[in-house]
Amino acid sequence: MVKILTINKIKQLMNENNEDWQKIDFGSCPKDESIENFIKNEYPEFTYVLRTMNEMAENMQNDKEKEQFEDNNSKGVYYAIKDKNAMFNLFKKPKIIGLVSDANKGKSNLIYWILTELNKRYYYKKYAYGLRSGIEGAVPVCSIAEIEQLRNSLIVIDEFSSLFDVENRKARRLIEKTLRLVFHNNNIVLLSGLGENFKKFISAKLSAIIYKKTTIADLINGSSIKNILLEYQGLERGSAVLDLQDNEGIVFDGLHYNKIDIPYLPEFDTKRQNVQIFVPKNVHKIVQK
């Protein structure tokens, strides 16, 4: 299963680079050999799609982490390592990125952190749909027509099921056309939503996925977003839940899983201002003399 997942991602990466993946005879890969080694040995001209172990090791914290990663890699088992640049490496070229989690598990906080950090590092055009708080330089958009005309930008769509009618099967082709056009217009798109929102046809468009706490049963059977999570063998994944704290996330960049720490940004937390629904009554004790 791990090998199948890796092959699918290699095909996706090659498609993104306008390469014909059918030039590689994946069926001839020996069962006891990893697909990465197979590519390196038999098709060295396509090794650009592989992220090498040395590149990963540069971001390791210590020798023990390097040793564990190399051991897991040799076994074909995918665990997450901590790569402080993993999140921001996603935003280097046009792609569609999925952000999935259960409700009220910090998706919006993560989006604000991403935008805040990117603002510190780069000059870039950014547009946002569905964010409750404004962020410096981000232009609000309110319709699909607006989004389809954007070029050379980062487009953040929070709770994307409120923009796209994902439950309407007749709308599927329209949504696919929109995503295809936005990608063609040299944009990076971040789609944020619940597990149930990522239908198979949307999951198939994702080049990278960011997971926060997620109930596995909420993900669509057969979708790539679910298959990729089921391949992950880290301690955070049980049989029913990917159990991450609010300040944690798992980034899948197309080849590797990376664990990230996410700071809490109270200035963007609009729910913090909510009034309590239940207010304690004042209880007076009656003292008997």
Give the pairing of strands 248-252 and 208-211: antiparallel
**Considering just the CA atoms, what is the radius of gyration of the chain in Å?**
21
Q: Report percent pLDDT > 70 for the chain.
A: 78
**∠ CA(22), CA(27), CA(32), 5° rounding?**
135
Q: In the beta sheet, which residues pair with residue 191?
A: 98, 157
pLDDT of residue 69: 52
What is the domain class of 86-270 according to CATH? alpha beta
pLDDT of residue 27: 74
pLDDT of residue 52: 36
Sort 233 into a burial class: Cβ within 10 Å, 0-12 / 13-18 / 19+.
middle
- Domain limits of the chain? 2-81, 86-270
Q: pLDDT tens digits for 224-241?
A: 999 999 988 888 899 999
Q: pLDDT tens digits for 121-161?
A: 888 999 999 887 778 888 999 999 999 999 999 999 999 99
Higher pLDDT: 2 or 217? It is 217
**∠ CA(114), CA(117), CA(123), 5° rounding?**
105
**∠ CA(89), CA(90), CA(95), 5° rounding?**
145
